[in-house]
Chains A and B, each alone.
Chain A
Amino acid sequence: MILADTSTDISQKAHGAGTHGLSGTVPVTTSATAARQAVEVQNLEVFYGQHRAVHNVNLKINHREVTAFIGPSGCGKSTILRCFNRMNDLVKHCRVQGTVKIHGADIYARGTDVMELRKRTGMVFQKPNPFPKSIHENVAYPLRIHGVRGKAVIAEKVERSLRLAGLWDEVKDRLHASALSLSGGQQQRLCIARAIAVDPDVLLMDEPCSALDPIATKTIESLINELSKTITIVVVTHNMHQAVRVAHQTAFFYMGNLVETGPTDKIFHNPVQHQTLAYVTGQFG
C-alpha cells in the first residue's frame, strides 16, 4: 500500500520529467503530425479479478519515437502495452480504469471500433506467430480482413510491407512457400510486415526478440530504428541493452507502478529514483 502511494507521487514527478511540458490539450484528431504525443495514458488502473495489476499510471508516448518499457517480470509493462490496443478485452475478468488516448481519441470511450483501433495499432508478439499460410497470404491477411480487394493492390502492399520489414529480398522468390519454412528471425520480421501492412500509427512490440538469437535480434533492432521514422513504436523488453540501443524514451515499471520515465540516456545514466538505479545497474530484475 505504501509503495502504491509513493508510486503515485513518483509517477507524477516522472511525468513531469519525461515529457516536454506539453499538457494533454491535444485536439481530438487522427492526423499524425498534429500531435506531439501519440499515446496519452491518464490514471490507468488494470485489475485481474480482485488483483490490481497496474496502479494509477500516467504516461505520454511521443510521436514517431521509440519508447521502451522495462522492468522485472510481472511489473505490468505488458499489461499496459495491451491496453493500447485493447487486447485485454479478450482476457476474462480483466477490468481497465482510467483513460488511454491515441492521437487524442479516448480508445475506451463508448462506440470505439476496436477492430479499427487494432488495425491502427499493430502488435508484434513475443513468439513469432505467422499463420500456417504462405508468406504472401500472411501479409495479405490483415489487408483482406480490412476490406482491401484486388490482386494487384494487395500484391503491391505486400511487397511494400515486406520491403519495409527488410524481408523482401530474402523471400521474393518464394512468396507462396509456407511461412513456417522461414527461420525464427525471418518469421518475426514477417509478423512485423504483417502488422505494418495496414499502415498503423502505432506499433506495439511485446518482447519481440526474446525468442530470437543475437543476430536475428540485431536485425530486428535496426528495423525498429528504421521504422520509427514513420511509426510510433512502443517496445516492451527484458533486455536493458536493447532499450539503450533502440529507444528514445524509456519507462521503468515496478510492481504495477510506473517508477520513472524519461529520455533513455537519462534513465540509464542519471535516474532520479533509486529503484531505477538499482534495476538498471543490475541489482535486481
Chain B
Amino acid sequence: MSEPTIRSPIASGSNPWHRFFRGVLDRLTIGMSMGGVIMMFGILLLIFAVLLNGAWMAIGHIGWKFFTTSTWNPVPGMDKYGVLAFAYGTAVTTLIALLLAVPLSIGCAVFITRIAPQWLAGPVSFLVELLAAIPSVVYGLWGAFVMSPWLQTHFEMWMWKALRNIKWIPVGHYPGHRTEYFPANLVHGGPSGSDFLAGGLILTIMILPIITAITRDVLQQFPEELEQGAYGLGATWWQTTRLALTYCRVGIFGAAVLGMARAIGETMAVVMVIGNTDRISSSLFAGGQTMAGVFVNEFLEADHPIYLSAMMYVALTLLVSALLTNLAARVLLNRIAPA
C-alpha cells in the first residue's frame, strides 16, 4: 500500500460544487440584505423627493405662513392653506392616546405575564392580537356609530357636569367668549361625541394592542434570577413587578414609540370621529382634524394645482414631523437605556 494521502481538513468532505454554491449563497444573502437596506433608504428618499416636488408650488406661494396659520380654504380663488390646526389635532389626539394607552397596555401586559393563570393568559393574549388585526375602517365605523353616541350621552355628559364649573387657572379666551379657566375649558361647548377626545380614544383603542403585545414580550424577558432575587429579599409582588417594569423600560418605551407612530399616521378611524373642522381649541369637546385625516379626506378631490400642492405640503409636513418625533424618541431611548 502506498502511503496514505493526507487531505487538508478544510478541503476534505466537501465537493467543490457544494463549496461553490455555498459561496454564492453567502454572497447572495449578503447582497440581498444590503439591497434591502439600500432600497428602504431609496424609497424614503424617493417619497421625500416626490412630496417635495409636489409641494414646491405651495412652498413658494405659502411659505412659512403654512405653519403659522390655521385657515384651510380650498375654494378656487379663495385658496388659503395653513396646517397649524391639523398639526394641533395630530398632536392632541396622539397625546391623549399615549397618556391613556401606555398605562393601560402596561397593566394589560402585567396581567397577561404576571397575574393571569395559564388558561386565561393565552386567550387574553390572543384577544389582544386580534384587536390589532381589525382594519382601521372598522374601528372608524364602530367609533362613529357606537362609541361616539355613547361618549356624547354618557361619558362626556358626566365629564361636562363634573368640570364645567371648576375654574382654577385662567387660560385666555375663545373669540367672542368670556375668559376661560382650566379645567372648565376642557369641556367648553358641551358634549358632542365628535371631537378631539373621541379621536384620542379611538386611537387609544387602536394602539393598545401593539403596545400591549410588545410590553408583554419584553416582560417575558425579565430574567427568572432577578425575579427570585427580589422575592428572596422580601419584595412584595408589586415591588417585584416594579423592578421588572424598570428592567424592561427601554422595551416598553420602544413599544410606546411604535404606538405613537401608528397614532400619528392613523387616518380612517380618526376621520370618522374627530368632527373634521380646521379649528384649534383647548376644549376636548371641540371638533378638529389631523394631518393624516385632511389628507385622506381631501386628496382625491383636490382639483386645482395649488390645492393639490398644499395637500402635498401637508404630507411633507407629516413625513418630516414623523421622522423628527422618531429621532427624538431615539435620543430619549439612549438616555434611559441602562448603563
A: residues with CB less than 8 A from B are: 85, 87, 90, 114-119, 122-123, 125, 127, 129-132, 134, 141-142, 145-146, 177-178, 180-181, 191, 194-195, 198
Q: CB distance A115 to B236 under 8 Å?
A: yes
* CB of B338 closer than 8 Å to a CB of A: yes
Q: CB distance A146 to B226 under 8 Å?
A: no
**Which of B233, B234, B235, B338 contacts A132, CB < 8 Å?**
B338
CA distance A276 to B225 in the complex (A): 32
Question: What are 19 residue pairs bridging A and B, where the CB atoms are less than 8 Å apart in the complex?
Answer: A85-B232, A87-B228, A115-B235, A117-B234, A118-B231, A118-B232, A122-B232, A125-B229, A129-B226, A131-B229, A131-B247, A132-B226, A132-B338, A134-B339, A145-B235, A180-B338, A180-B339, A191-B229, A195-B233
Q: For the complex, would chain B's binding face be called helix, strand, loop or mixed by DSSP majority?
A: helix
Taking the closest CB of chain A, its distance from the CB of B179, in whole angstroms, is 44
The 4 closest A-B pairs by CB, nearest first: A123-B232, A119-B234, A118-B234, A129-B225
Q: Which residues does chain A contribute within 8 Å of B228, judged by CB atoms?
A: 87, 90, 125, 129
The closest CB in chain B to the CB of A116 belongs to B234
Q: Which residues does chain A contribute within 8 Å of B235, judged by CB atoms?
A: 115, 142, 145
CA distance A180 to B337 in the complex (A): 14
- A145/B239 contact (C-beta < 8 A), A132-B338, A177-B339 known: yes
CA distance A119 to B232 in the complex (A): 8
CA distance A142 to B243 in the complex (A): 12
Q: CB distance A145 to B236 under 8 Å?
A: yes
- A178/B339 contact (C-beta < 8 A), A131-B243, A132-B247 known: yes
Q: Which residues does chain A contribute within 8 Å of B233, judged by CB atoms?
A: 118-119, 122-123, 141-142, 145, 194-195, 198
Q: Which residues does chain B contribute within 8 Å of A114, judged by CB atoms?
A: 234
Q: Which residues does chain B contribute within 8 Å of A180, judged by CB atoms?
A: 338-339
* CB of B223 closer than 8 Å to a CB of A: yes
Q: CB distance A87 to B234 under 8 Å?
A: no
Taking the closest CB of chain B, its distance from the CB of A3, in whole angstroms, is 31
Taking the closest CB of chain B, its distance from the CB of A208, in whole angstroms, is 13
The closest CB in chain A to the CB of B224 belongs to A129
CA distance A92 to B232 in the complex (A): 17
CA distance A134 to B339 in the complex (A): 9
> B43-76 vs A: 1/0 string, CB under 8 Å?
0000000000000000000000000000000000
Q: Which residues does chain B contribute within 8 Å of A198, judged by CB atoms?
A: 233-234
B: residues with CB less than 8 A from A are: 223, 225-226, 228-236, 239, 243, 247, 338-339
CA distance A197 to B232 in the complex (A): 13
Q: Which residues does chain B contribute within 8 Å of A129, judged by CB atoms?
A: 223, 225-226, 228-229
Question: Known contacts A115-B235, A129-B225, A129-B226; can you find 9 more A-B pairs with CB under 8 A?
Answer: A85-B232, A90-B228, A90-B231, A117-B234, A118-B233, A119-B233, A119-B234, A122-B233, A125-B225
Q: Which residues does chain B contribute within 8 Å of A181, judged by CB atoms?
A: 339
CA distance A127 to B236 in the complex (A): 22
CA distance A142 to B235 in the complex (A): 8
Q: Which residues does chain A contribute within 8 Å of B339, judged by CB atoms?
A: 134, 177-178, 180-181
CA distance A168 to B226 in the complex (A): 23
Q: Which residues does chain B contribute within 8 Å of A134, judged by CB atoms?
A: 339
Q: CB distance B338 to A115 under 8 Å?
A: no
Taking the closest CB of chain B, its distance from the CB of A205, in whole angstroms, is 11
CA distance A127 to B226 in the complex (A): 10
Taking the closest CB of chain B, its distance from the CB of A165, in whole angstroms, is 15
Taking the closest CB of chain A, its distance from the CB of B16, in whole angstroms, is 46
Taking the closest CB of chain B, its distance from the CB of A122, in whole angstroms, is 7
The closest CB in chain A to the CB of B228 belongs to A125
Taking the closest CB of chain B, its distance from the CB of A22, in whole angstroms, is 29
Q: CB distance B338 to A87 under 8 Å?
A: no
The closest CB in chain A to the CB of B118 belongs to A92
Q: CB distance A87 to B232 under 8 Å?
A: yes
